[in-house]
Amino acid sequence: MAIMTESTIQVLKDGHVTSPKGFTAGGIHCGLRKEKLDFGWIHSENPAAAAGVYTLNTFQAAPLKVTKNSIEQEKHIQTIIVNSANANSCTGEQGYSDALTMQQWAAEKMDVSTDHVAVASTGLIGVPLPMDKIKKGIDLMGSETSTEDFEHAILTTDTVTKHTAIQLEIDNKTITIGGAAKGSGMIHPNMATMLSFITTDAAVDPDSLQHALREVTNKSFNMITVDGDSSTNDMVLVLANGQQNNNLLNESHPEWATFIQALQLISEELAKMIARDGEGATKLIEVNVKGAPTEESAGQVAKAVISSNLVKTAVYGSDPNWGRIVCAVGYSEQPLDPEKIGVSLGDIEVVKDGLPLEFDEGEGKSYLENKTVKLGIDLQNGSCEATAWGCDLTYDYVKINASYRT
Amino acid sequence: MAIMTESTIQVLKDGHVTSPKGFTAGGIHCGLRKEKLDFGWIHSENPAAAAGVYTLNTFQAAPLKVTKNSIEQEKHIQTIIVNSANANSCTGEQGYSDALTMQQWAAEKMDVSTDHVAVASTGLIGVPLPMDKIKKGIDLMGSETSTEDFEHAILTTDTVTKHTAIQLEIDNKTITIGGAAKGSGMIHPNMATMLSFITTDAAVDPDSLQHALREVTNKSFNMITVDGDSSTNDMVLVLANGQQNNNLLNESHPEWATFIQALQLISEELAKMIARDGEGATKLIEVNVKGAPTEESAGQVAKAVISSNLVKTAVYGSDPNWGRIVCAVGYSEQPLDPEKIGVSLGDIEVVKDGLPLEFDEGEGKSYLENKTVKLGIDLQNGSCEATAWGCDLTYDYVKINASYRT
């Protein structure tokens, strides 16, 4: 992952998905949930070049199919609508038809082309959408609410809203990229009950944007896990409405690499916010694997460690039990030499060349009491690296998930 | 899995690893743990044909290497020694040398050939074995203890001992097969912190026994999971000492299939005992997948469901949230048609042809309150099936694992 200097890319202090020029957003209560906001939208003044990545779960929910089709056909989106509480997943032909109806209603309400509306849903699986409530939500679109309301309306078991924005110079124009996300449980590499919406006022070629998003997602949203389950509904969308009138960004633009860096940064920040707010989580865990023969292999090892319930509970208990880390590395099924592996907890080296080092257990324990815990693994078997993010496994995770529906 | 009739194979009422003729076992306290028994042995009056399967973790612990080498060379084992509390894993050359020393000391003490001793260890990773304590344990081998003491000595976080025995007729001789196992956390398909020892007084060709064990293990021990982590130390050993003087059992013996059935039955029973006693578990979960194109594919789907933290917490909370089951099926990466899948909770059908059925939620909830919960999945995409076993994910799992070492 490239290092970004502050002079190139600036993180805004209170950035939102509407920080880029020409975007508005809002959220209201339409009755899908008892009291909380449950329906939101993002709207661009003009059709924006659009790209999307979607869950790999075989049971892809209806709204994903609708959104994917529209983006593939039109390569532009002007309005995104999102409901929480109901995933419109495993709902058969009725569900697909409902998602299409939502898209059409929103297009009429906002006076945009039907295929310029993206639809997203999150929540319970297998329950038909109450379309009267959805209709109520759509009727209220554009009413006076705030971006914060949008950020709240898309949440499920999340405890905080997730948003950020950054700025950079392209063609001497100040480009802003903003983002909002939700996702708490069921987060796993490959888009798991996670929704993320990224906006920018840069002008970007939609095909280039699609390639960029896929590349960046593989090193950000696909590298987080909360509980290893990947959902039927997850997607990341990027909208670029071009309101800064820069020269169209694509692979041959001299500042394309900088734009990719910025997209990587915002994706990584949103991904980390999701991991940190994992269901019941008290700590963000970052696993960095270096010395791997390929990036993919490094990624597989990092994912094995970040997904290990035993590692996650050890971090929760601040137990410097590096044996569990080594064990997870060992079952990752990646090429490695047990006699070369190194492990560190933050700056504390605990294993070198496959053998334990003497270290102060109290120091290890106290390092693990931090709110962000970094686990380092050196395979000494190549020059590639990867980073994955996750969270600890706590009593509250069990509590939340043993009674999600009650 | 074949159906076994009571007339063919009988489960003994209080079966043990020493139920077969010619085996003794014992366990003592040698000081590896504070008070609990921590060193045990199984001994056969004569060298027994032996077979073993071992963890696939890249970091295979020293005792596994020693045992595997000996069985490969000699195909016979007379004595098995096991210590708990310390895994002798990630201990480098010293660890390997220690395992060899254990083997040699035990051989001298029991007056058997060095290569006829199998060595097993379970417990903490990365700590050198205190060989003075091991020596003390070996010095006490053969002293007057009981099979129950052996079964206790091999435990770690297990709450109960695991043992059973069965009888069947081969060549008109009554053949007994007995078994003892340990394993609680870190149990996952492919031998995860799980030790299992099976004995029989049948005469069996060692190569045939090895093939049989591998086949049977794939449908029993490799189909259980507690937390998805697979450990560095796990193994299953089978010893057949031939004291019933049946005609040597091998693939061409007319009753070979019956013997395999019996080996499958005892392996499955031990595997289920391990799953039921998963760390913090309150329920045994059995996932049966049918209608798959291959047995392997059925197994992959079953493992995805049984490994899902969201399914495990839903079962803990007796929440008939079948969406989580469908979701896990969907990310199993197996060939399937979302519009054909069926799901049932015990006898209650909840999904058919990919769509939810109306069912009484209270009935679903009350079914999930059973101590054994069966989840059925029909892919309607072939004629193969597989079963996996696991347990619910509870507060106590977190509690146990957040403070394993303290």
Exposure string over A318-345, b if 16+ CB within 10 A, otherwise e:
bbbbbbbbbbbbbbbebebebeebbbbb
Q: Tell me the CA distances in angstroms from B199 to B54, B77, B263, one per residue in order.
A: 17, 11, 10
* Domains by residue range for chain A, with CATH: 9-276 (3.60.70.12), 284-402 (3.10.20.340)
| Active site annotation includes B193 | yes
Identify the pLDDT of residue A228: 55
Quick check: B227 and A330 CB within 8 A? no
Size of interface A-B (CB pairs under 8 A): 190
Q: Does B92 touch chain A (CB under 8 A)?
A: yes
Identify the pLDDT of residue A7: 52
The active-site residue out of B145, B193, B225, B387 is: B193
CB A238, CB A209: distance < 8 Å: yes
Residue B331: φ, ψ to 5° = -100, 10
Question: Which position has the higher pLDDT, A45 or B194?
Answer: A45
Residue A382: φ, ψ to 5° = 150, -170
Contacts A354 to B, Cβ<8 Å:
90, 92
pLDDT tier at A4 (50, 70, 90 boundaries)?
Answer: very low
Please determine, for residue A190, whether its predicted confidence score (pLDDT) is greater than 50: no
Q: Does B222 touch chain A (CB under 8 A)?
A: no
Contacts B314 to A, Cβ<8 Å:
401-402, 404
**Residues 160-179 (B) with a CB less than 8 A from some CB of A:** none
Q: How far is CA B32 from the centre of its chain?
A: 24
Please determine, for residue B404, whether its predicted confidence score (pLDDT) is greater than 70: no
Tokens coding A84? 């929480």
List the single residue in A with minimal CA-CA distance to B394: A398
Quick check: B398 and A402 CB within 8 A? no
Residues A291, A295, A300, CA angle at the centre, nearest 5°? 90
pLDDT tier at A405 (50, 70, 90 boundaries)?
Answer: low
B406 is in an annotated binding site: yes
Is ipTM over 0.90? no
**Residues 118-137 (A) with a CB less than 8 A from some CB of B:** 124-127
Say how far apart CA B18 and CA A371 lie, in whole Å. 51
DSSP B19: -
The Cβ-side half-sphere exposure at B214, using a 13 Å CA radius, reads 7
On average, the pLDDT of chain B sits at: 91
Q: Tell me the CA distances in angstroms from A191 to A23, A55, A217, B331, one per residue in order.
A: 25, 5, 9, 11
A64: amino acid identity, one letter = L
Cα dihedral B340→B345→B346→B350 (10° resolution): -50
Closest in A90, A92, A332 to B323, CB measured: A90
Say how far apart CA B308 and CA B327 lie, in whole Å. 9
Q: Does B406 touch chain A (CB under 8 A)?
A: yes
Q: Does B357 touch chain A (CB under 8 A)?
A: no
Q: List beta partners, residue B170.
A: B173
Quick check: A328 and B398 CB within 8 A? no
Quick check: A329 and B59 CB within 8 A? yes
Q: Does A57 touch chain B (CB under 8 A)?
A: yes
Q: Does A384 touch chain B (CB under 8 A)?
A: no
Percentage of chain B exceeding pLDDT 90: 74
Quick check: A124 and B308 CB within 8 A? no
pLDDT tier at B188 (50, 70, 90 boundaries)?
Answer: very low
Look at residues A58, A401, A86, A403 and name the one whose alpha carbon lies nearest to residue A227.
A401
List the single residue in B with minimal CA-CA distance to A128: B356
Residues 6+ apart with CB under 8 A from B77: B44, B47, B48, B50, B70, B71, B116, B117, B118, B237, B239
List the single residue in A with minimal CA-CA distance to B190: A331
Identify the pLDDT of residue B198: 98
Quick check: A339 and B313 CB within 8 A? no
Say how far apart CA A20 and CA A33 lie, in whole Å. 30
Please determine, for residue A188, whether its predicted confidence score (pLDDT) is greater than 90: no
pLDDT in tens, A244-298: 999 999 999 999 999 999 999 999 999 999 999 888 889 999 999 999 999 999 9
Q: Tell me the CA distances in angstroms from A196 to A60, A154, A178, A220, one per residue in order.
A: 17, 10, 11, 11
Identify the pLDDT of residue B230: 65
Identify the pLDDT of residue B1: 41
How would you write chain A as a 3-class SS string?
Answer: CCCCCCCCEEECCCCCCCCCCCEEEEEECCCCCCCCCCEEEEEEEEEEEEEEEECCCCCCCHHHHHHHHHHHHHCEEEEEEEECCECCCCCHHHHHHHHHHHHHHHHHHHCCCHHHEEEEEECECCCCCCHHHHHHHHHCCCCCCCHHHHHHHCCCCCCCCEEEEEEEEECCEEEEEEEEEECCCCCCCCCCCCEEEEEECCCECHHHHHHHHHHHHHCCHHHECCCCCCCCCCEEEEEECCCCCCCCECCCCCCHHHHHHHHHHHHHHHHHHHHHCCCCCCCEEEEEEEEECCHHHHHHHHHHHHHCHHHHHHHHCCCCCHHHHHHHHHCCCCCCCCCCCEEEECCEEEEECCEECCCCHHHHHHHHCCCEEEEEEECCCCCEEEEEEEECCCHHHHHHHHCCCC
CB B307, CB A394: distance < 8 Å: no
Q: Does A369 touch chain B (CB under 8 A)?
A: no
The Cβ-side half-sphere exposure at A51, using a 13 Å CA radius, reads 20
Residues A283, A287, A288, CA angle at the centre, nearest 5°? 145
Please determine, for residue B120, whether its predicted confidence score (pLDDT) is greater than 80: yes
Closest in B228, B327, B333 to A125, CB measured: B327
Q: Tell me the CA distances in angstroms from A243 to A77, A201, A251, one per residue in order.
A: 14, 5, 20
pLDDT in tens, B368-396: 999 999 999 999 999 999 999 999 999 88
Identify the pLDDT of residue B192: 43
Please determine, for residue A406, whether its predicted confidence score (pLDDT) is greater than 50: no
Mean pLDDT of B171-189: 82
CB A67, CB A119: distance < 8 Å: yes
Percentage of chain B exceeding pLDDT 70: 94
Tokens coding B131? 């060989």
Mean pLDDT of A78-88: 95
B126: amino acid identity, one letter = G
Tokens coding A270? 């949103």
Residues 6+ apart with CB under 8 A from A20: A165, A175, A176, A177, A178, A199, A200, A201, A241, A243
Identify the pLDDT of residue B227: 59
Identify the pLDDT of residue B211: 97
Identify the pLDDT of residue A207: 98
List the single residue in B with minimal CA-CA distance to A328: B229
Q: Does A357 touch chain B (CB under 8 A)?
A: no
Contacts A401 to B, Cβ<8 Å:
309-310, 313-314, 317
Contacts B326 to A, Cβ<8 Å:
59, 90, 125-126, 232
The DSSP element (H or E) to which B275 belongs, if any, is helix B256-276
Identify the pLDDT of residue B58: 82
Identify the pLDDT of residue A196: 96
Please determine, for residue B228, whether its predicted confidence score (pLDDT) is greater than 70: no
A156 is in an annotated binding site: yes
CB A90, CB A125: distance < 8 Å: yes
pLDDT in tens, B4-21: 444 589 999 999 999 999
Tokens coding B248? 């040597």
pLDDT tier at B186 (50, 70, 90 boundaries)?
Answer: low
Quick check: A398 and B403 CB within 8 A? no
CB A138, CB A130: distance < 8 Å: no
List the single residue in B with minimal CA-CA distance to A231: B327
Quick check: A401 and B229 CB within 8 A? no
Say how far apart CA B143 and CA A263 lie, in whole Å. 69
DSSP B170: E
Q: Does A186 touch chain B (CB under 8 A)?
A: yes
Say how far apart CA B138 and CA B383 lie, in whole Å. 51
A114 is in an annotated binding site: no
- Residue by residue, DSSP assigns B204-260 as B-HHHHHHHHHHHHHTTGGGB-SSS---SS-EEEEEE--TT-PPPBSTTSTTHHHHH
Please determine, for residue A152, whether its predicted confidence score (pLDDT) is greater than 90: yes
Contacts B309 to A, Cβ<8 Å:
227-229, 309, 397, 401
Exposure string over B261-275, b if 16+ CB within 10 A, otherwise e:
bbbbbbbbbbbbbbb
Identify the pLDDT of residue B104: 98
Closest in B90, B310, B326 to A90, CB measured: B326
pLDDT tier at A226 (50, 70, 90 boundaries)?
Answer: low
Please determine, for residue A210, whether its predicted confidence score (pLDDT) is greater than 80: yes
pLDDT in tens, B322-336: 988 998 998 888 988
Tokens coding B67? 């045992």
Tokens 């082309």 found at: A113
Tokens 């910025």 found at: A262
Quick check: B229 and A308 CB within 8 A? yes
The active-site residue out of A55, A122, A147, A193 is: A193
pLDDT in tens, A99-148: 999 999 999 999 999 999 999 999 888 889 999 999 999 999 988 899 99
On average, the pLDDT of chain A sits at: 91
Q: Are strands A162-170 and A117-121 parallel, antiparallel or unpaired?
A: unpaired
CB B180, CB B151: distance < 8 Å: yes
Please determine, for residue B190, whether its predicted confidence score (pLDDT) is greater than 80: no
Quick check: B402 and A317 CB within 8 A? yes
Identify the pLDDT of residue B4: 47
Please determine, for residue A191, whether its predicted confidence score (pLDDT) is greater than 80: no
How many CB atoms neighbour CB A277 within 10 A? Answer: 24
